[in-house]
Amino acid sequence: MSTNNLKREASNQAAKPNNKRAKNSRQRSDKRATKQPGQPLDDRREWTREWAGLPKSSDITQSGPKLPKRKCAVIIGFCGTGYNGMQIQPHGNVKTIEGDIFVAMIKAGVISPDNSTDPGKVNLQRAARTDASVHAAFNVISLKMIVDLPDTPDIVEKINEHLPNHIRIWGFVRTQNSFDARTSCDSRSYEYLLPSYVFIPPSPWSNLGKRLKSSHPFWEGVDETEDIASMMTRKRAYRIDSDTLDRARETLAQFEGSHNFWSYTIGKGFRDRSSQRFMKKLTIQDPFLVEGNEWISVRFYGQSFMLHQIRKMIFMLVNVVRTGTPASLIPTTYTDLPIVVPKAPGLGLLLEKPHFNVYNSRVKENNEHIDQNAGERINKAVEKVHKQKGKDAEAGKTDVEYPSDEQIKSETTKQINGDRRELIDFVPYEEKVEAFKHEYIYKRLRKEEVLGNVYSRWVGMIDSHEGQQLDYLNPEGVITESAIKAGKKGVKGGQNAQLDGADNSGVKATLESDDEDNYDKKALKSGELEG
């Protein structure tokens, strides 16, 4: 084939459309064509153009010199009531913890005007992307921020001035440049608080009680028409017995280890590898009394958690125990059998803290290496100046000023100290955080439970449910065909708003279940939430 023919053939090949690429392009065009007027063509582009609640690029005017940014881990705590989760979202009507913190940082000056329009510009990440209404005693965000502000001796105090009292910055540390709060976090600890009365078996006149032929001494002499106030007085006087508590602990232990938790989240299938999660340690603390009400704390320590996972685990724990279902049911929920596992209320969920064991070990090793070589590094710095001084003398340069050995040692020591990094340590803040938890989390939690009877309403919805989704709650501990058939309707972690732990509708700060589900669909697009 001649050279001209080869060129012609190459030109023809280049001109041929890639069918697969063309098909994908048409599909994208079709999808864009269905968008409503004024709706962004691409959510990701919209995110970098205008974030919810943040300044627009057109509003930014640069004033003063640019100050250097440093990679930091910022330690925070918050009461999540009334918020649609931790992670900042591009939707204008979505209120998030990160959104409030980011705006406060802009106002405090640790984020420059140039970087204020998009959190991506400062590499904002978070250790745990908590779900709507979930609280945190400790969480960590990482970003590049200005740490040396003129006339600002206390940056933490400055940021907190622009935050509501239920969101606090506890402190921050300089980190290695490679630090990322999400990927550097190797495990998380959560707490779920609930009143002990949720373990009371279903009433004999409820749908679930009739199916199970339930009978329990608590219901003896109780009239099913009894008013709510009297019923709640009875429930709050209940004290869990040791046998029930032992069964709860035995049931919770079934969740420990590495399992496929696809039924305990939404948007994932059985074969989705990310459904495999490792639960390191799960415990139930001894019951405690607060203002005459008995509460139980369930602690979760795991590598990571998926959206709604803990709330669904709490549902399963509570209802396996209160219905007399054997704990052996739990392992069968890790199989490919589709079942509906509703959520417990988000009200009682608290992120205790993320863990950075691997990162802290690396920092320790690096600091030890720096310390071991500090003396040699100082000597080399002094020697370098002496050599340069000798060369300049040989060259006849007599007007050069040199730092003294003490000045060299002092400057080099500053550089060495600047190279060292602090550990991410929560201990210095524990006293403040304990007071914060009681004032802004536990107190609000108990108040909302008393005002709205949140947990009583939740178990009431479960007991009155008429469908077959919960037929796996039975004395044999087997997943029935009826439960599987009902579960197939929501095969990827089936949801049922009527069964979910809808928070108290009388408390405006919380979300109803249907609102949560709509938010979940948006949230799953932007990143996996936790809890």
Whether the Cβ atoms of residue 440 and residue 165 lie closer than 8 Å to each other: yes
Range list of H helices, 109-239: 155-160, 181-184, 207-212, 228-236
Among residues 525, 445, 438, the alpha carbon closest in space to that of 80 is found at 445
The one-letter amino acid code at 133 reads S
Strands 187-195 and 293-302: antiparallel
Alpha-carbon gap, residue 274 to 378, rounded angstroms = 49
Answer yes or no: is 359 a known binding residue. Answer: no
SS3 40: coil
SS3 151: coil
- The residue assigned the tokens 């990322």 is 180
Encoded tokens for 522: 């948006």
- The residue assigned the tokens 């994208």 is 28
Alpha-carbon gap, residue 230 to 226, rounded angstroms = 7
Alpha-carbon gap, residue 68 to 114, rounded angstroms = 12
Angle, CA of 401, 396 and 386, to the nearest 5°: 50
Mutual angle of helices 309-322 and 454-464, in 10-degree steps: 70
Concatenating the DSSP letter of every residue in 420-481 gives -------GGGHHHHHHHIIIIIIHHHHHHHHHH-HHHHHHHHHHH--SSTTTT-STT----H
Whether the Cβ atoms of residue 72 and residue 172 lie closer than 8 Å to each other: yes
Q: If DSSP states are collapsed to H, E and C, what string results for 322-350? A: HCCCCCCHHHHCCCCCCCCCCCCCHHHEE
SS3 190: strand
Partner residues linked to 390 by β-bridges: none
Whether the Cβ atoms of residue 491 and residue 476 lie closer than 8 Å to each other: no
Alpha-carbon gap, residue 530 to 129, rounded angstroms = 5
Encoded tokens for 356: 């950075």
SS3 490: helix
Whether the Cβ atoms of residue 323 and residue 201 lie closer than 8 Å to each other: yes
The answer to whether 131 is a known catalytic residue is: yes
Alpha-carbon gap, residue 225 to 246, rounded angstroms = 32
Q: Write down the catalytic residue from 30, 42, 43, 131.
A: 131
- The residue assigned the tokens 């058939």 is 485
Among residues 302, 236, 145, 254, the alpha carbon closest in space to that of 446 is found at 236
Angle, CA of 529, 449 and 194, to the nearest 5°: 65
Whether the Cβ atoms of residue 304 and residue 262 lie closer than 8 Å to each other: no
> Annotated binding residues, as ranges?
190
Active site residues: 131
Enumerate the known binding-site residues for substrate.
190
